[in-house]
Amino acid sequence: MIYIDEYNSELRDGEVGFLVSRLNTSRGSRSEYYSLQRNPAHTNQSHEPRLRGWCGETNNVSVTAEGLAQVAKTFKNGRARLRVIRTGSSLERIILEQLGYPDLK
């Protein structure tokens, strides 16, 4: 399970999206956070959508596509608990079809 802050979108229990991690290494510090997006992360150079893998870095912020996740529970304090969808599962294929990205790997 992964916990995220809800500030980046209004999440609902059961909602499915693309899990993206961002690692900020500016000014000698490291901070990592996750977000659930309606669209997949895109690579910096080719701008291709990516389901998994490193997408690039801009201004010391590295972006990595982490697959699909579903909101398991939202909390009153604005956080949400996510359940990661298993890689290569039939559920993953069904969800990608529903989201309009059936060929995304």
Domain count for the chain: 1
pLDDT, position 5? 84
pLDDT at position 63 is 97
What pLDDT score does 58 carry? 92
User: pLDDT tens digits for 66-93?
Assistant: 999 999 999 988 899 999 999 999 999 9
Expressed as residue numbers, the domain containing 50 is 2-99
Contact 1, 83 (CB under 8 A): yes
Residue 105 lies inside a defined structural domain of this protein: no
Q: Is residue 27 part of a domain?
A: yes
pLDDT digits 0-9 by tens, 29-47: 888 999 999 999 999 999 9
* Residue 68 neighbours by CB distance under 10 Å: 27
The Cα 48–Cα 42 span in angstroms is 5
pLDDT digits (tens, 9 = 90+) for 50-62: 999 999 999 999 9
Residue 104 within a domain: no
